[in-house]
Amino acid sequence: MRRDDTARLLDEATPPQDGAALLAALLRPELAELRAYVPEAGRFDARLDANEAPDMLSQAAQRRLAEAMAPRGWQRYPDARALELRAAIAERCGATVDEVLVGCGSDDVITLLLAALGRPREGAAAATIVTTSPSFVMYRTSARARGFEVIEVPLDEDWDLDVAALRRAIAVGRPNIVFIATPNNPTGGVMSEARLDAVIAAAPNALVVLDEAYVDYAPRSAIALRRRYPNVAVLRTLSKVGFAALRVGWLIGSAALVREVDKARPPFNLPAPSQRAATVVLRELGEEVARVVDFVAGERTRVAAELVALGLDVAPSAANFLWVGTWRPAAEVHRALADRGVLVRSFHAGGGRLANRLRISLGLRAENDRLLAEMARLR
Ligand code: PMP
């Protein structure tokens, strides 16, 4: 190119914009409606807001995990295919290794599914997901951040699936993915089997993701539906049974699905220490996990009964948290508890029937007692 051509092109170029205007021109418009996930800051005596398991890992288990995570070959990338870990998961879930996709938490797996299954239906500008309301917020957030349309179908008055409304949403929205959490977060209940079956049958052209993040605390799993329906995949995680720090989640789906979604996966998405520690959890720490789950289930019964005795409404829970209807606006109760050192999660921003609901994770006995004492004071 000649010198004066270059000068002319430079003259014609848009003048430099300030940073904000430049970003506005580049960002996905959907981001304007989203907020970054920021956990509540501050020191609390009892953090019962994130559905983590109580801190009760034995010394022996902690030593075993530290040993598994000890540095070996820092200069090397982790196993890109996470074969050991996937083999341990496959064995645990009754699947084959090629039916397992691992992610940095199930959050990561959700984003990979959205990255891969994003082809808009014929005549539509964007792909769509269908999910329930309320449910795990990352389905909506991750989908919107990738330009998907999101249809949220309210749960019925018992916080179970509204099959007729879901059928309509699926027929009209033609979703690529239907996300259903069972047990559901934040409502805690398992979805009834017959309704799940009906929703899956109504969505033969979509992938139906059954998110079983809390299945260890539940009386039953829906994983058998995978055998009945080729379009069903199941999401699981180690986060809720005591290992949230590892960030290990996975999908069990058809080998064809896993093969395709794997193309959208950054090859080293799971750090080597997490791969090794998670393999130890799955292969060797079953009794530790069972101890946590039994303890939490016991506390769930005890704390629920005490809250009911205080005049609160508590939905039946198959998870490690309770979905509690408050006497006064949830925002007020949430603030008062936080001021007294107990952090729970409020859903009042959702409005309507959520304005009086709190989600309370079950912690150690002393933490739960503290919650109960503060609640009694607020009555
Ligand atoms: N699914 C559900 C239903 C959840 O509640 C959560 C965590 N809040 C996740 C998935 C994400 O879990 P993780 O990324 O820690 O595996």
- Which amino acid is located at 211 in the chain? D
Structure tokens at 330: 């949830």
Q: Per-residue pLDDT averaged across 284-313, rounded?
A: 98
Q: Quick one: pLDDT at residue 18?
A: 84
Pocket of ligand 1 contains residue 237 by CB under 6 Å: yes
> For the chain, what is the mean pLDDT?
95
Q: What is the pLDDT of residue 293?
A: 98
| Ligand 1 within 6 A of CB of 249 | yes
Tens digits of residue pLDDT in 131-164: 999 999 999 999 999 999 999 999 999 999 999 9
In the chain the first and final C-alpha atoms are separated, in Å, by 79
The pLDDT value recorded for residue 9 is 57
Which residue is listed with tokens 């848009």? 14
Please say if the pLDDT value at position 328 is more than 60: yes
pLDDT range class, residue 61, cuts 50, 70, 90: very high
Contacts of 281 (CB under 8 A, 6+ apart): 65, 238, 243, 246, 289
* 56 class by beta-carbon count within 10 Å (0-12 exposed, 13-18 middle, 19+ buried): middle
C-alpha 138 – ligand 1 centre gap (Å):
8
| Closest Cα to atom 12 of ligand 1 | 106
Indicate the pLDDT class of residue 184, thresholds 50, 70 and 90.
very high
Stretch 11-32: mean pLDDT: 81
Give the closest residue to 129 by CA, choosing from 152, 160, 105, 101.
152
For 332-344, what is the mean pLDDT?
Answer: 97
Cβ 179 under 6 angstroms from ligand 1: no
Query: Does this model's pTM top 0.85?
Result: yes
Q: How far is CA 131 from CA 110, 205, 310, in A?
A: 13, 15, 33
Per the DSSP assignment, residues forming a β-bridge with 103 are: 249
Whether the Cβ atoms of residue 307 and residue 372 lie closer than 8 Å to each other: yes
- pLDDT tier at 14 (50, 70, 90 boundaries)? low
Q: Quick check: CB of 239 below 6 Å from ligand 1? A: yes
Q: Is 112 in the pocket of ligand 1 (CB under 6 A)?
A: no
- Per-residue pLDDT, averaged over 49-74, amounts to 95
For residue 239, give the ligand 1 atom closest to its CA: 15
Mean pLDDT of 50-61: 97
pLDDT of 304 higher than 90: yes
Name the phi and psi angles at 352, rounded to 5. Answer: 55, -130
Spatial CA neighbour of 211 closest among 138, 155, 277, 275? 138
pLDDT at site 302:
98
136 lines ligand 1 (CB under 6 A): yes
At which residue do the structure tokens 């539940």 appear? Answer: 218
Q: Among candidates 131, 101, 100, 108, which has minimal Cα distance to 203?
A: 131
Instruction: Quote the CA–CA distance of 106 and 103 in Å, as a whole number.
Output: 6
Confidence class of residue 19 from pLDDT cuts 50, 70 and 90? confident
- From residue 156, give the alpha-carbon distance in Å to each of 133, 153, 227: 9, 9, 28
Nearest CA residue ID for atom 1, ligand 1: 213
Please give the pLDDT value at position 39: 85
Query: What's the confidence (pLDDT) of residue 12?
Result: 57
Q: What is the DSSP string of 92-131?
A: HHT--GGGEEEEEHHHHHHHHHHHHS-PPPTT-SS-EEEE
The predicted pLDDT at position 370 comes to 98
Averaged over 311-327, what is the pLDDT? 98
Q: How confident is the model at residue 10 (pLDDT cuts 50, 70, 90)?
A: low
- Edge-to-edge order in the sheet of strand 100-104: 100-104, 248-252, 232-237, 207-211, 177-181, 128-133, 149-154
At residue 3, the pLDDT reads 54
Compute the distance from residue 185 Cα to the ligand 1 centre, in Å.
9
Q: At what angle do helices 286-309 and 272-284 cross, to 10 degrees?
A: 80
Q: With 60 as the cut, is the pLDDT of residue 92 above it?
A: yes
| Continuous H helices in 42-192 | 59-69, 83-93, 105-116, 137-145, 163-173
Instruction: Give percent of the chain above pLDDT 90.
Output: 91
DSSP string, 188-201: -PPPPHHHHHHHHH
pLDDT of 2 higher than 60: no
State pLDDT tens for residues 267-291. Answer: 999 999 999 999 999 999 999 999 9
Mean pLDDT of 194-219: 98
User: What average pLDDT does the segment 185-213 reach?
Assistant: 98
